[in-house]
Amino acid sequence: MGRLIAISNRTAADASARAGGLAVAVWESLRSTGGIWFGWSGNIVEDEVGEPQVFSDEGVEFVTTDFTEAEHDGFYLQYANRVIWPVFHYRVDLAHFSSKDFDVYADVNERIAELVAPRLKEGDSVWVHDYHFLLMGDFLRRSGWTGPIGFFLHIPFPSPEVFRALPEHERIARAMCEFSVLGFQSKTDRSNFVRYLLENYDAVDEGEGWIGVFGRRIRANAYPIGIDAKGFAEAATSPRAGTAATRIGRFLGGRNLVLGVDRMDYSKGLPQRFEAVGKLFDHFPSTRGRVSVTQIAPPSRSKVEEYRDLRTQLDGLAGRINGDYGDLDWIPLRYLARSYDRRELAGLYRIARVCLVTPLRDGMNLVAKEFVMAQDPDDPGVLVLSEFAGAAEQLTDALIVNPHDTYKVAETIYHALEMTLEERQARWEKLRDIVMAQDIEWWRHKFLDDLSTDLT
C-alpha cells in the first residue's frame, strides 16, 4: 500500500492524544505506510484563518487548520452536533435543522478538501473519519482525485425513514457514494444505508459488499471497531489500576459495585439507567445496602443546550434516588461528572461486579469491550448491554437488554448480581475471545485491505 492520508476532525498531533484506541490505530497505520493526517487544530480565530500548521513527527506529517468562530459554530456545534448527531442517533426531535448551518458544514468540508487535494500523489489512499466529513468524497472528486477514498462512520447510520428526515439527505447520500469504500460499525447500519439507496435510487445490491449506484460501484461493509485488547488487559493489572481499585474499595466497604462509564450524552441512555437503578432498589429490596452503583460521566459538548439539560436531569434523578433509598452509611447511586485516566478506569472495571452499558443508540461502544478485557479470569464481572449498541452484534454472551424497559433492566442487574461464578466465567470467556480476536489491529487491517483492493 502507498501512503495513507487520514482526515478526521481532531488529529493526534499532540502525542498525549495518541492514547485512545482510534488515535492509536490511525497513528500506527500512518507510521507504517508514511502519510499525512489532516484535521482541525483545536484553535478558534475571530474571522480569518491563516495558513495551515504543518509539522512532522516520526515520519508522519500533520496538516491542521484553525476554524473561524462562524465555522466552529455552524460546522461543529450546529450541523455536526445538533443535526447529524441527533438524527443518526434516532433523535429527530432534538435536531435543529438549518440550511445556513448546512452551508457552513459544506464549506468546511470543501475548505479541508482544498488543503488535501494538492498534497495527494498517485498511489495514495485517503481514509476519512466520521460524521463531520460526509461530503469529503464529493469535494475530493471535484478536485480531480480519482484514487481510493475510504470512509468510516463511527456513529450509527439510521433507518431510511429517519435519514430522510434530514432536509439534505439526497445531497449527503450522493456525496457518500463518491467514497470507494464505506465502513459501518454494524451490519444493521450497513443494511440501513443500502436499504436507503435501494429505496431512493436505481441502486443494485451486487453481493459481497458491492453496490451499483449512480453509474459506479462502491463497496459498503460492516467493520466493527475494536480496542487495544491486550494493552487494556495489561492496564487493568497496572499499579495505577490497583490504586484506583483500592480507593473505591474503601468506599464500597465490601458491597458489590455496579458501574457505568460514559460520556455525558443523551444517546447513552443515562436517565433511563438511573430509573432502572431506582427500580432495582424498589423491587429487589435485598440489594439495598448491599450494592453501590457508581456512574462516571464527564460532561461533554457543554456548549450545546441539550447536553446542559441532560446534566440537570441527571442531577435531579440521582438526588431523588439517594433521597429515597440512601441511609446513614450507604449512598445507593454515586455519580461522578469527571474523567479518569484509562488505567484508573481499567482498575474500576476490574473490581465491578456488573457493568451497565445501556445506550439508546450507539455506533459501537468501546466501554463494553474495555470492561471485558479488564476482568479477572478467576472472578469476572457481568456485562449488561443494550441491544441498540453496535457491540451487541458481537458480544452476544452479555446480558442483552432493551434500555427503555427499565423494569427489565433492573431485573437483569439483579440476575447479574446473583449469577454463579461458573456462568460468569463461561460467558466472560466467550466475550474475551471475540474482543481479543477482533481488536483494533484486526479492524484497521480489515478496512485498509478492502481499501487497497478497491477495484473502482
Question: Which candidate, 190, 177, 192, 184, places its Cα nearest to that of 223?
Answer: 184
Nearest distance from C-beta of residue 228 to ligand ADQ, angstroms: 10
Q: State yes or no: is 169 an active-site residue.
A: no
CA distances in angstroms from 202 to 163, 393, 455, listed in the order given: 18, 30, 21
CA distances in angstroms from 353 to 256, 293, 339, 378, 417, listed in the order given: 6, 10, 21, 13, 7
In contact, 289 and 332? CB cutoff 8 Å: no
366 near ligand ADQ (CB under 6 A): yes
Alpha helices (H) in 201-304, listed in sequence order:
229-235, 239-252, 270-283
Query: Of the residues 96, 154, 169, 415, which is catalytic?
Result: 154
Q: Which is nearer to ligand ADQ, 152 or 281 (CB)?
A: 152
Nearest distance from C-beta of residue 106 to ligand ADQ, angstroms: 23
Q: Which is nearer to ligand ADQ, 23 or 116 (CB)?
A: 23
How many residues are given for the chain? 456
155 near ligand ADQ (CB under 6 A): yes
Stretch that binds ligand ADQ, among 23-31, 38-46, 114-122, 361-369 (CB under 6 A): 361-369
Nearest distance from C-beta of residue 381 to ligand ADQ, angstroms: 16
298 near ligand ADQ (CB under 6 A): yes
Give the β-pairing of 125-129 and 53-57.
unpaired
CA distances in angstroms from 301 to 20, 85, 193, 305, 307, listed in the order given: 19, 12, 27, 9, 7
Q: Which of 71, 228, 275, 370 binds ligand ADQ (CB under 6 A)?
A: 370
339 near ligand ADQ (CB under 6 A): yes
CA angle 300, 304, 307 (to 5 degrees): 55
Nearest distance from C-beta of residue 26 to ligand ADQ, angstroms: 11
261 near ligand ADQ (CB under 6 A): yes
Stretch that binds ligand ADQ, among 4-12, 34-42, 366-374, 442-450 (CB under 6 A): 366-374
Q: Which is nearer to ligand ADQ, 194 or 357 (CB)?
A: 357
Stretch that binds ligand ADQ, among 170-178, 211-219, 339-347, 403-411 (CB under 6 A): 339-347
**End-to-end alpha-carbon separation of the chain, Å?**
16
Q: Which of 10, 31, 96, 154 binds ligand ADQ (CB under 6 A)?
A: 154
442 near ligand ADQ (CB under 6 A): no
22 near ligand ADQ (CB under 6 A): yes
Query: Of the residues 138, 228, 362, 450, which is catalytic?
Result: 362
Q: Which of 217, 340, 411, 436 binds ligand ADQ (CB under 6 A)?
A: 340
Strand partners, 362: 389
Nearest distance from C-beta of residue 262 to ligand ADQ, angstroms: 6
Q: State yes or no: is 96 an active-site residue.
A: no
Nearest distance from C-beta of residue 121 to ligand ADQ, angstroms: 29
The secondary structure of 266-285 as a DSSP string is GGG-HHHHHHHHHHHHHH-G
Nearest distance from C-beta of residue 22 to ligand ADQ, angstroms: 6
What burial letters (b/e) apply to 314-343, b meaning 16+ CB within 10 Å?
beebbeebbeebbeeeebbbebeeeebebb
185: which residues sit within 8 A by CB, 6+ positions away?
Answer: 153, 154, 155, 156, 222, 223, 224, 225, 363, 364, 390
3-state secondary structure of 355: strand
374 near ligand ADQ (CB under 6 A): no
Q: Which is nearer to ligand ADQ, 275 or 370 (CB)?
A: 370
Stretch that binds ligand ADQ, among 257-265, 321-329, 404-412, 442-450 (CB under 6 A): 257-265
* Residue the block writes with cell 432502572: 276
Query: What residue ranges bind ligand ADQ (CB under 6 A)?
Result: 22, 154-155, 225, 261-263, 296, 298, 339-340, 345, 362-367, 370
Catalytic positions: 154, 362
